[in-house]
Structure 1
Amino acid sequence: MKYCLILFIGVLFSQEHYEDLDFICDYDGDGKRNDCELFQQFGDNSWSTKDYRGAVDQYFTMLLCKCINKNNARVYKDLGLSYEKLGLLDSTVWSFEQGLNLDKNNKDLLWNAARILTKLNKNGDKNNLETLYYYFDRLLELEPEDVSILEKYSEVYKNNEQYEEQINILDQWLKIDPNSKRAINSKKNAYANLGMDETEVDKERWEKEPSNLEYGISYVESLMKNENFDKSIEVSEELILLHPEDKRLLKLISESYVKNLDDKKAVKYLEKLIKVDFDNVNVMIDLSTAYMNLYEFNKSYSWANKAINTNKMTGKAFFQRAEVLVQAVDYYRSDELDFCDRLIYDLAREDYQAAYDNGQLNAKIYKNNLKELVTTVGDWFLLGEDFKELSPNSSKCKEQIKSEDYYGFIDRNVARKE
């Protein structure tokens, strides 16, 4: 059925029988074939009322009556769009192509021809790829900085698994809009499909402008995503010289050091970060964790306390303080738990309970794990009647039970158990 209506009418009304068209082209019967404006009006009215078959009839009549020239090639667009509404995509393409034969630089016709061929291509038609590419190239000649054209062109190459060609288009796009996330992500995906390292996309951008913070951060994030922490640290250290107080960069460099198991360097940048982001609870907890990993429990406990005192993310802050207490006991204890070690576990259980009460639901499991490790009524009985409560930093713990002041930083009391 392809082009059957077009071919039939074309044969029926060939040049030598053109006079037979009088009854069609002379609509008002005045003996002149000058009723093109009427046919245009009829076609437009049919379109506006969604009578697309009627619109096709009227616009095609204009074609038969030689109403169409370079100045009104848009009629071919209207005809094509009407065919599209009827689902006749082959005829749609034909219409646009006929219009382009009259006006090769008509952007509307080029765009619509590319659009329909793209739709056909997505449905599996690979026969018109070169024509489709030609239309996009022509559009770019007319509008070289129109990123919408580049985006559609990129999608066509992607759908046809022509990733190297897609990258060329994406590079043009990025020259116009270097910060386009869509273009950057598309280029990364194209690299991945070619088996190439996606971080190279961010690396290229940053190396062209090494002082550009946004490009640098994107590169560091890509490196961290690939777990290349040595390189992310190297790049971050270079960037931090130019942007010493940028919060995002300080966070990334500290995270890189943590992931690279270098908590000492992480603390250095976390301490700088908390100075410019002084009420950030996450940074306080990160500092507490880093100091805990360095076995500096006094500083770790202090940062956990500061996090609690902000009254933000309370559950997470209490959980962190409990973790510090547990790790301190594990580090300082002897083979046998003594009374002061067990006092620490009492305090840790309190903190886990507070964490649970403030939404940290997994804290309940941690609390229950300490059930057999806390002080008992018997422990307090053996301690004597003089102690109604006791702190791990008391002289009793420091001088009589522990040989050193391990828990001097903990200024909380545990009530006697009766």
Structure 2
Amino acid sequence: MILRKVSLVVSVIFLYSCAGDLSDDQINSVKSQASSNNNKVCLQYLSAANVNRTNSLYQECVDAYNIAINEGCGDKYSQQIFQWMGRSYINLGKLDSAKWAIKKGLRIMPDDLQLLNVAAFLAKKQNLNDDRLFYLDKKLQLEEEVQGLLDLTNLYSNEEDILDLQKSLGMTGDQLDGLWNNYMNSYISSFKNSRDDTYKQLNEYYKDLEDYDEQILILDDWYDYNPNNSIIFKEKKTAYINLGRNPIDIDKDKWKKEPSNIRYGINYIKKLKEESEPEKIIDVCLALLDYDQNNIVVLENIADAYLDIYEQEKALNIYNKLIGISDDKIAYFIEVSKIYLDLGDYNKAINFSEKSLISQSSEAYYNRAQIYIGIAESCADFEQLSMSDRAVYEMAWEDLNQSVGKGNRGAKKQADFLNKNYITQNKDWFLNVDEGKNKFRPTDDCYSMINRFIIKRSF
């Protein structure tokens, strides 16, 4: 191979010395042949390096890269050489050699994102914190610039803009065509992963230095870029704890910065619920309702919070509003019936519990059973249950059985208890109901709102 290259060089020199006898086209042809042969040499060594690297033969890999550099391939094939050469030296534990390769590459490609990434990784291994931060900050700044191009460029952009984006993404020479080609999506995906990785490394950098305030700022920027990354919240929570702050402040601060953001507010409310802070929940909900007065999730949360502080009337107002704007009203009918039971308005409690039965759901039957039980507990004399008391308990027992039949197995225990202790027995019918009648409606004044009958069972 050496003799062939020497022969080629001699031929080129000879032809140049005889240039007076050659046309321009002939001279250009000779130049092209020389360049083509040099490219082949470069590609041969690069191919050998890649094969060795793939097979974890890192010394053979860097040997091939060094030969390629000596053959003059460094400038033209810098993207294919220096980051992988640096990585291979790192794998060999030759960190000084890795640093040499990376710096040589950065002199040629100072804005290469992958090379900056390797440089930051190497600086971390060498405990060179200033260098590590320098490379990461530069990478972050460049990625923000690339993101700006990416936001403004698409399939229909002009050739010049697409070409600028391709170069910024680090696409190689043979892939640069100013068209939204088949390589674009792959490079864009890699770029997005690279941005995530930059934020991750900066987060680790500040965490390693125990500079938690700066860590939180980076995490905020990272969240703005990728709000779906679950790692961010975990890292930020730890940073807050390390600063002696309550992690709930994460969601509070985020919402405070953007008070019209309903999602941020709801996330904060969830955390407040975990902390049992109904008054604060009410404050947040009221603020959110200024921006979206019919937001169902916010209204549900403020209603629950009002109940937690025994503001039943205010909760009723919210539930009545929900009934007016929501298609799914059953849950609200149930909640309203419970509130009226607590307020002692048994007529409305029964009325709303019966409205919920339009769903024929186990929850609706179970709820009406609890309404009947609540009324009976308020009205009954437990030293001597009346026929009316037992009739109301029997209505509850019937509803509990309906709920069990619709899948609420948890209601069976309560139904069995009522059956054993409180519902009517044969002697109750004998003593309190005229012979021949098999229906009974509660007659005590306390049960005047109940229009339902029970049917005499077979005893």
Give CA-to-partner distance per residue, 1:178-201, whole Å, 9 cap, x none: 898765664344323422123333
Q: Please name the residue that 2:82 is paired with.
A: 76
Q: CA deviation at 1:169?
A: 0.8
8 Å CA contact 2:45, 2:68 repeated in 1: no
Q: Which amino acid aligns with 1:67?
A: C
Query: Structure 1 372/73 Cα, relative in aligned 2: closer, same or farther at 3 Å?
Result: closer
Which amino acid in the other structure matches residue 99 of structure 1?
A: G
Corresponding position of 2:288: 239
Relative to structure 1, the CA distance from residue 172 to residue 90 in structure 2 (aligned partners, 3 Å threshold; closer, same or farther) is farther
2:6 is aligned, of 22, 30, 34, to: 30
Give the conservation status (yes or no) of the 8 Å contact 1:140–1:149. no
Q: Would you tell me which structure has more helix in proportion to its own residues?
A: 2
Question: What pairs with 1:6-405 in structure 2 (closer than 5 Å)?
Answer: 26=2, 28-30=4-6, 35=38, 37-44=40-47, 47=50, 50-53=54-57, 55-65=61-71, 67-69=73-75, 72-80=78-86, 87-88=91-92, 94=99, 95-114=101-120, 116=121, 127-144=127-144, 148=196, 151-153=199-201, 155-157=203-205, 160=208, 162-173=211-222, 183=232, 186-311=235-360, 314-336=361-383, 337-370=385-418, 371-383=420-432, 384-392=434-442, 397=443, 402=444, 404-405=445-446
Structure 1 residues 31 and 285, CA, compared in 2 at 3 Å: closer, same or farther? farther
Q: Does the CA-based 8 Å contact 1:264-1:294 persist in structure 2?
A: no
1:247 to partner: Cα distance? 0.8
Deviation at 1:354, TM superposition (A): 1.5
Shift of 1:320: 1.4
How far residue 283 of structure 1 moved from its aligned partner, in angstroms, is 2.6
Q: Secondary structure at the match of 2:447?
A: coil
Moved more, 330-339 or 295-304: 295-304
- In 2: Cα distance, 1:141 partner to 1:387 partner: 89
Structure 2 regions of 5+ residues with no counterpart? 10-36, 148-194
Deviation at 1:101, TM superposition (A): 4.4
Residues 52 and 83 in structure 1, CA contact (< 8 A), matched pair in contact too = no
Q: What runs of 5+ residues in structure 1 fail to find an aligned partner?
A: 1-22
CA distance in 2, matches of 1:82, 1:407: 89
Q: Within 2, Cα distance between the matches of 1:280 and 1:289? A: 15
Whole-angstrom distance in 2 between the partners of 1:140 and 1:283: 50
TM-score w.r.t. the length of structure 1 is: 0.77
One-letter code aligned to 1:135: Y
Matching residue's letter, 2:113: K
Are 2:106 and 2:112, in contact at CA under 8 Å, matched by a contact in 1? yes
In structure 2, C-alpha distance between the alignment counterparts of 1:180 and 1:273, rounded to whole Å: 34
Identity %: 27
**Matches of 1:303 and 1:204, distance apart in 2:** 40
Q: Tell me how far 1:117 sits from its aligned partner.
A: 5.2
Question: How far off its partner does 1:245 sit?
Answer: 1.3
* AA partner of residue 41 (structure 1): Q
CA distance, structure 2, for counterparts of residue 243 and residue 169 of structure 1: 31
What is the aligned partner in structure 2 of residue 9 from structure 1?
A: none
Normalising to structure 2: TM-score of the pair? 0.70
Secondary structure of the corresponding residue to residue 303 of structure 1: helix
CA gap of 1:154–1:273, structure 2 versus 1, over 3 A, is farther
